[in-house]
Structure 1
């Protein structure tokens, strides 16, 4: 889920706060996903949502792809870009959005509900006009549907490509069906709840998307937005190329993006290797939200694979 003004002030009311490791290093605020014991939250063990979000590569690639799609729709483009901290602090913006996503995916019920309420309060203040003078409100249900759908589509397709290429159509639909509670929690009145519905919805939305300078500005920012500094930029640029590559060619053309000639032959092998390495490393990352959630439920982390 991509969050506009909400992420700048998201101080969750549930769990302890402190410091914990970023996937690539550094520190971000921490929430306690281990309590209360036995609370499955919105999804719970065995869900496709728990599996799909366990590898950081999925969140990184799927999240960037989702924002490309969001910014290619004029109303969401204006709402995200005019009311977000992305332009001045893209790393923190991505971290705060990631925290919110983890809270509704792996958090206990109260944490998820508090996240919905806080983000909704922020979004209720987000209004304005698009570049061509059309008015918008961030809480318009159809815009919230698009934001939810792009995130769901991005995460699932990144998971399919880099974690589980053999994922069945039935499990794709299960992922979307499970995510309905999250989309509606953030204010959408309807979201796709099957693979067929998602395909139809994306086809319906495609003509409404357009290439624009905001997408290019976003990509210019995100390709260098890494907490590892100069050493991490080559990897971050490959992740950004992988996000573009995740979009089918017709969507790339509609959004005005394309994979660079230099990245085209290496991006998928490189991301598969990264996903495999991080997947192994994450088995030992005991403080990550997914592992904490497993401890809360008293289950093996095998449910994440």
Structure 2
């Protein structure tokens, strides 16, 4: 009697969709070009108001002649974690961990209410919390302004994803607000806090990071609009610390520009409005390199 040869069951492979798979709130928000292109500039501008965070980063920056190339590397690394496989993200996380282990020191001079000699470490929970907080706030605010307003449950899901993002980079879970309302209360209190202060260098770098991005000639006409979007999105206290005027006419124009952006997003196919921003990031680094090569001044700290 004929027999049927035994065939082993096919091995099912599990697709590596990363730490933030399609459908996760962080991936959905950060994939919006309007968010992904601007959140980093805004986050750096706000983040600089905490002297320990700013000085710790600045004191351990190797080449201050190319600030935008460094920012581009950071943006590309974060996109690997947002959108890449776990293997790709883990490579970034290992590299960042090694860098963070070297970022230790003390504040060389008073930073407002923070006295000289105060110790800092890139692996300190409160400092890591502030870093992820400005990213979360920027992503949330820009999505509201330029895409659509998030529902409360979406804000909660976004913060929970950002909590996971922070833990991946080594932030102690216990250092992070447990819910979106707790995050919002923390962030607003930090912006209003007595230790919010801009050192002279932070004032310079935070401002040019937000408003002096080097872009190829074809993109320059749009930069005034982009600058207005970021200016109007900043907390009032942050604008005051930078001495940035924001007049009623600017406020009205900001509202009109953002409303137009939201309308445009509703009629733009998702495949055109979302995705990685690798090409744009690299064009910024290339433009900075071109300017340096041709002897044109680029904002820098020396």
TM bin, normalised by shorter chain, reads: 0.7 to 0.9
Question: What is the CA-CA distance between 1:63 and the residue it aligns to?
Answer: 1.7
Structure 2 unaligned regions, length at least 5: 1-12, 111-115, 279-302
Evaluate the alpha carbon distance shift between residue 149 and residue 222 of structure 1 in structure 2; reply closer, same or farther with a 3 A threshold.
closer
SS in 2 for 1:188: coil
Is 1:267 aligned with 2:254?
yes
SS in 1 for 2:16: coil
Question: What is the CA-CA distance between 1:209 and the residue it aligns to?
Answer: 1.1
> Match for residue 256 of structure 1?
242
> Match for residue 92 of structure 2?
115
- The 8 Å contact of residues 128 and 137 in structure 1, kept in 2 or not, is answered as yes
Is 1:159 aligned with 2:143?
yes
RMSD, matched Cα: 2.9
Evaluate the alpha carbon distance shift between residue 275 and residue 118 of structure 1 in structure 2; reply closer, same or farther with a 3 A threshold.
farther
Evaluate the alpha carbon distance shift between residue 283 and residue 272 of structure 1 in structure 2; reply closer, same or farther with a 3 A threshold.
farther
Question: What is the CA-CA distance between 1:258 and the residue it aligns to?
Answer: 3.1
Evaluate the alpha carbon distance shift between residue 44 and residue 276 of structure 1 in structure 2; reply closer, same or farther with a 3 A threshold.
farther
Q: Which has the larger radius of gyration?
A: 2
Aligned equivalents of 2:255 and 2:86: distance in 1?
36
> Match for residue 146 of structure 1?
130
Question: What is the CA-CA distance between 1:248 and the residue it aligns to?
Answer: 2.8
Q: Out of 212, 216, 229, which is 1:224 matched to?
A: 212
Number of matched pairs: 252
> Match for residue 291 of structure 2?
none
- The 8 Å contact of residues 71 and 214 in structure 1, kept in 2 or not, is answered as no
Counting only pairs closer than 5 Å after superposition, residues 1-305 of structure 1 correspond to structure 2 as: 38-84=15-61, 87-130=64-107, 131-132=109-110, 133=116, 134-165=118-149, 167-189=150-172, 190-206=175-191, 207=193, 208-218=195-205, 219-229=207-217, 231-253=218-240, 255-261=241-247, 263-271=250-258, 273=260, 280=268, 283-284=271-272, 288=276
Deviation per CA, 1:82-128, whole angstroms, max 9, x where unpaired? 33368422332232111111111111111112211111101111223
SS in 1 for 2:120: strand
Deviation per CA, 1:265-300, whole angstroms, max 9, x where unpaired? 33343355457668837724898479xxxxxxxxxx
Deviation per CA, 1:153-196, whole angstroms, max 9, x where unpaired? 1111111121112x111110110012222101111113234220
- The 8 Å contact of residues 212 and 256 in structure 1, kept in 2 or not, is answered as no
- The 8 Å contact of residues 40 and 109 in structure 1, kept in 2 or not, is answered as yes
Which region of structure 1 is more displaced relative to structure 2, 203-212 or 51-60?
Answer: 203-212
> Match for residue 298 of structure 1?
none
Which region of structure 1 is more displaced relative to structure 2, 168-177 or 183-192?
Answer: 183-192
Aligned equivalents of 1:202 and 1:211: distance in 2?
17
